[in-house]
Each structure stands twice: as C-alpha cells, then as structure tokens.
A = this chain, B = another copy of it.
Amino acid sequence: MNQECRCDKCELKELFFQNVSSNEIMSLCGSRIEKNYNKGDFIIEQGKQISEFIYLKSGLVKLFITNSDDKEQILSFAKPFDFVSLLSVFSQTNYSYSVMAIEESTTCNLSINDVKKIILSNGQFAMSILEKMSNVSDAVIKESLQIRKRNLRGRIAYVLLHFRDDIYDNDYFELPVSRKEIAEYIGMTTENVIRALTEFRKDGIIKIFGKAIEIVEYKKLVQLSEHG
C-alpha cells in the first residue's frame, strides 16, 4: 500500500508497527525522512529543538554532552535498533546532548508530533515505546555504573569487551573511536588509555595495529574487567 515504508531491513516497522493500524502507518510514512551521515557528522546537536523522532537504521553513533569548558563526556555508543533520540524526546523541548556518527550511518526520522499523536490514540504502541525507552535508559544507567566501579585497566577491558561482544561480535575489529574518545567515555585521560592498551599488548592480551585491535586472550580480558 505505502511504498515509502517498504524498507526491507527496517526493524522499526517490525518491532513497533505491528500494533499500529495501516491508517496510522500511512500517516507516519508520508512524513518519514531518511538521512545519511558520514563519520563525524552531527545527527543531533545539543541545545537544538527536538522536532523529530530518530531511529538508527545502520551505522554507529556516539551520544555525548559538551560541558561549559568544551570538554566532552560520552554517555554511550549506540547501534542500530537503538532510538538515539529516545532519552529526552518526551520530556524536553531541546536536546541536552549531541549525537554524532562515528561510522557511516543512516537514520529514519519521523515527525515527533506524528509519533505523539499515535501514542495518544494507540495504547499498545504507547506501551511498546515505553518499554523501549525504559530499556534504553536502563542500559545507559547500568553502563555508567559498570564503568564507575572499575579502575583504569578494568575500564579499558570493559570497553574492549563491549566492542568485541556487543558491537562487532569478532575478536578482530577496527576501533571506531580515537583513544581520546575512549578516554571521554571512561572518564580518564587519553595518555592513560594509551598506556593501558600498550600494557595489554605487552602482556599478550591484545594485538594493536593502529586503530585495529585483535583480542588474543579473551578470558584474561574478562578477568581484568571483573577484578581490576
């Protein structure tokens, strides 16, 4: 019926639109915009008005806030399935954080007002959004606590395992972020991130080829992540 939502790989449709009537889908699909971003492009800029409901179709992004002194704190890395604009989209009028593509990314953007209309008229859809949002914020909060309880080496191990297990599912991967960004994520200095990586390399736990990482001793990394 509606050409515009015939995206083969759109999990958004599969996940949430099961319970939305075709009328409602039609109205959403009419205003739907797909956008492509290159590495380094802003998807969301802190402070800007929230007018869209943004779903990450492909790629990888970082969520971060910029402090008064221009320093950045990275909250989380988000991959497809995640609603990158979900955190404050229903409570604020302006974004309190930025989202930037760290790999080539595609988003599907819906008008926030259209989404709100459907929430108001469709309880099942509202519940799905509520569950998804609850999941996303839960994950961000837990992530932050997990990082906080570790020391430098534990944090680095945790980050490497995060990329290994949750993002690339492979012992060999290209780090999509700089050492500086890892530092901004775990709340330590760039130098110490580098030192910890070097240490892991010297201990034979990982191999480093510039941005590429190979995890050699997975179990040791798990151990480091668990006990400093």
Q: Is the CB of B75 within 8 A of A138?
A: no
Q: Is the CB of B134 within 8 A of A127?
A: no
Q: Is the CB of B134 within 8 A of A90?
A: yes
Interface residue count on the A side (C-beta < 8 Å): 38
The one of B75, B116, B123, B141 that contacts A75, using a Cβ cutoff of 8 Å: B141
Decide: A90 near B145, CB < 8 A? Known: A123-B123, A124-B120.
no
Among residues of B, the one whose C-beta sits closest to the C-beta of A142 is B96
User: Which 6 pairs, one residue from A and one from B, show the smallest C-beta to C-beta distance?
Assistant: A137-B137, A91-B134, A126-B126, A120-B123, A90-B134, A91-B135
Q: Which A positions have Cβ atoms within 8 angstroms of B?
A: 65, 67, 71, 73, 75, 87-92, 96, 116, 119-124, 126-127, 129-135, 137-138, 140-142, 144-145, 148-149, 187
Q: Is the CB of B92 within 8 A of A138?
A: yes
The residue in A91, A131, A140 that gathers the most chain B C-beta atoms within 10 A of its C-beta is A91
20 example contacts (A-B, Cβ-Cβ < 8 A) are as follows A73-B149, A75-B141, A87-B134, A87-B141, A90-B130, A90-B131, A91-B138, A96-B142, A116-B127, A119-B123, A119-B127, A120-B127, A123-B123, A126-B130, A137-B137, A137-B140, A141-B141, A144-B148, A148-B187, A149-B187
What separation, in Å, do the CA atoms of A131 and B112 have in the docked complex?
13
Q: Is the CB of B129 within 8 A of A130?
A: yes
What separation, in Å, do the CA atoms of A133 and B138 have in the docked complex?
11
If A87-B137, A120-B124, A137-B138 are given as contacts, then 12 extra A-B residue pairs at C-beta distance below 8 Å, sorted by A number, are: A65-B145, A73-B145, A73-B149, A91-B134, A92-B134, A96-B142, A119-B126, A123-B123, A126-B130, A129-B130, A133-B133, A141-B141
Q: Is the CB of A90 within 8 A of B142?
A: no
Q: How far is the CB of A91 from chain B (nearest CB, A)?
A: 4
